[in-house]
């Protein structure tokens, strides 16, 4: 389990859930692009680059303006706590974000969260993974 800060942004209620009952709901949005995300969970104000879910977490990687062009948004399903990290970056292995010494690694197979000392806080295989 991981310690996430409470998320303060207002979330839009989902208008539908994927037929499989997982995620992939499309939220009502403004303008030409609709938002991608999880019902009552993290979402992007436009198309998500990655949407992933484990037994205890939901994560989206959103394109944003800024030097790295990415934002990590995650929710701990066990506690309901949220974290948004601008400045996430991409490499051949996946997406990575750093916050207060903790590092979040969104890989194709799992979410790996490391403590400032490099120890594993959480290793979570995905039960759902979608990448554009």
Q: What is the side-by-side strand order in the sheet with 35-37?
A: 25-27, 35-37, 43-44
Domain span at 61: 25-131
- For the chain, the DSSP string reads ----PPP-S--PPPS---TTSSS-EEEP-SSSPPEEE-TTS-EESS--SEEEEESSEEEEEEE-SSSS-EEEEEEETTT--EEEEEEEEE-SSEEEEEETTEEEEEESSEEEEE-TTS-EEEEEEEEEEEE-
Distance CA 116, CA 37 (A): 29
Does 64 map to a domain?
A: yes
Give the tens place of pLDDT for each residue, 98-111: 999 999 999 999 99
Does 14 map to a domain?
A: no
Q: Tokens standing for 98?
A: 């750093």
End-to-end CA distance of the chain: give it in Å, rounded: 27
Does 88 map to a domain?
A: yes
Does 117 map to a domain?
A: yes
Low-confidence residues of the chain: pLDDT under 50: 1-32
Q: Tokens standing for 75?
A: 């929710």
What integer pLDDT is reported at residue 31 of this predicted model?
41
What integer pLDDT is reported at residue 40 of this predicted model?
86
What global pTM score does this model have? 0.72
Does 8 map to a domain?
A: no
Structurally, how many domains does the chain consist of?
A: 1
Does 11 map to a domain?
A: no
Q: Tokens standing for 6?
A: 């409470």
What integer pLDDT is reported at residue 34 of this predicted model?
62
Give the bridge partners for 70, in sequence order.
63, 88
Does 101 map to a domain?
A: yes
């Amino acid at each position: 389990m991981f310690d996430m800060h409470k998320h303060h942004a207002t979330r839009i209620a989902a208008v539908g859930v994927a037929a499989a009952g997982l995620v992939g709901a499309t939220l009502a949005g403004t303008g030409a692009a609709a938002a991608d995300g999880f019902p009552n969970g993290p979402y992007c104000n436009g198309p998500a680059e990655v949407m992933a879910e484990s037994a205890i977490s939901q994560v989206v990687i959103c394109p944003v303006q800024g030097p790295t062009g990415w934002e990590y948004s995650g929710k701990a399903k066990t506690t309901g706590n949220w974290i948004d990290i601008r400045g996430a970056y991409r490499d051949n292995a996946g997406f990575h974000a750093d916050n207060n010494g903790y590092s979040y690694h969104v890989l194709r197979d799992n979410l790996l969260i490391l403590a400032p000392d490099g120890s594993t806080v959480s290793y979570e295989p995905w039960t759902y993974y979608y990448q554009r």
